[in-house]
A and B are shown apart, each in its own frame.
Chain A
Amino acid sequence: MRNSMAIIHWTILEVTGVVAIVAFAAGLLGSLTGLGGGVVLVPLLTIFFHVDIRYAIGASLISVIATSSGAAAAYVKEGFTNIRIGMFLEIATTFGALLGAFLATWIPTSLLAIIFGVMLLYSAYLSRKPRPEAQRNLPPDPLATRLRLNGSFPDLEGQRSYNVQNVPAGFSLMFGAGALSGLLGIGSGAVKVLAMDQAMRVPFKVSTTTSNFMIGVTAAASAGVYLSRGYVDPGLAMPVILGVLVGSLLGSRILVKAETQSLRLVFSLVILVLGLQMLYQGFWGKI
């Protein structure tokens, strides 16, 4: 502990400045790699700044709403987002998020750290795994058809249509994604994309943008609980949301030009190391 940057000796101005820079970097890298910034914020704040994990989760959750709402505006215009898939699955994610937020208020913080560590390791693994092949001409699923989930998106050869599969599995996975989001204060975009890609076989571009559209609404469902339980400290949340917001906006501007492959590798290594740290500190009761 002696060598770490224990925030306790710092003044409010110093903390605000340093946290804003860290949040800016997390937002920038998260948006450049598409892995999300929230997932590294909580471990960075708890491991290096010794912020109580509940304050860190509260601040991170709010920043997730900011980035999702900011980015969704751009995506919706491009015509990839499927609003019906998003809205239908939000029934699952918002109930899940509410449950997760209530769970978070009575789970011991060391267990929270362990769950967070497992989630980080899983995200690192997912980010190295190749995406499933894009679907071509799958038969329409009766339930998906009744729910009007099938859609189309602009492709090189004009509009390409797709048929959504396995709705119950996707819906259940989304409940889990919502619960994780509410429990850990993250967007859990990785789980959301997984549910849509693997289970429902939604095309990659549609699942990514629809997931982003859903993240803000999911996070808003648990934010009320966090705020009313006193987990959102204005002094800490302020540099976090401003930093992440500026970082992710900048990231989405330079996304087209930058070479993201190697950046993605570096960022997934960072996630891996942070995940191991969270597990270690959780098991030894340091968080």
Chain B
Amino acid sequence: MEVILGSLLRLGVLLSAAVVMIGACIYLYRHAHEAADYRVFRGEPSEYRTIPGVIRSVLGARGRGLIQLGLLLLIATPIARVAFSVVGFAIEGDRMYVAFTLIVLAVLLYSLLGSGIGF
């Protein structure tokens, strides 16, 4: 079980790195020679801050949208891992740890969906 979960983690990281790479190629191809400025904090526009926004910009074949999608996949990887652990503990019949893992999963899902990024 743990070995499968380990492979799941690695797969998630590789997949998200690949998506980021594709996004990077599009982004650099289009914007390579523009001036960069990260000195002043403006906050990202909503298309890179919410899941529907990211999906919309991916459908528009935007490089930065694809990078953001890759980053979302990366964040989702440990969350998926925790979700599978719930199943693992349930198979072992360990109710206490099913409860603990569900608490962790709830916090993670709240952060990802409840803190404003969902919609």
Residues of chain A having any CB pair with chain B under 8 Å: 6-16, 49-52, 54-55, 62, 65-66, 68-70, 72-74, 76-77, 81, 83-84, 87-88, 90-91, 94-95, 97-98, 101, 147-148, 216-217, 219-225, 227-239, 241-242, 245
Structural contact, B35 and A73, CB atoms closer than 8 A = no
> Which 9 residue pairs across A and B have the least CB separation, nearest first?
A230-B43, A224-B111, A228-B117, A230-B44, A234-B67, A228-B116, A73-B6, A224-B112, A13-B32
Majority SS at the chain B contact face: helix
CB–CB B6/A87 < 8 A: no
Considering the complex, which residues of chain B in the window 9-26 have a beta carbon less than 8 Å from any beta carbon of chain A? 9-10, 12-13, 16-17, 20-21, 23-24
A60–B4 alpha-carbon span in the complex (Å): 28
Interface residues of B (CB under 8 A from A): 2-3, 5-7, 9-10, 12-13, 16-17, 20-21, 23-24, 27-28, 31-45, 48-50, 63-65, 67-68, 71-72, 74-75, 77-79, 81-82, 85, 94, 96-97, 100-101, 103-104, 107-108, 110-113, 115-117
B113 surroundings in chain A (CB, below 8 A): 224
CA distance A42 to B42 in the complex (A): 18
Residue from B20, B27, B38, B117 in contact with A224 in the complex, judged by beta carbons closer than 8 Å: B117
Q: A223-B75, A233-B38, A234-B48 are in contact. Are A69 and B67 (CB under 8 A)?
A: no
Establish whether residues A220 and B27, one from each chain, have CB atoms under 8 Å apart when the complex forms. Answer: no
Given A11-B33, A50-B39, A238-B23, A65:B75 Cβ within 8 A: yes
* Residue contact A69 to B39, C-beta cutoff 8 Å: no
Cβ-defined contact, B38 with A7, below 8 A:
yes
- When the two chains form their complex, are residues B6 and A72 in contact, meaning their CB atoms are under 8 A apart? yes
- Closest B residue to A223 by beta carbon equals B75
Given A14-B36, A16-B28, A217-B78: A232 touches B13 (CB 8 Å cut-off): no
Chain B residues near A147 (CB-CB < 8 A): 96
Taking a contact as CB atoms under 8 Å apart, the answer to whether B36 and A223 are in contact is no
* CB neighbours of B12 from chain A (8 A): 69
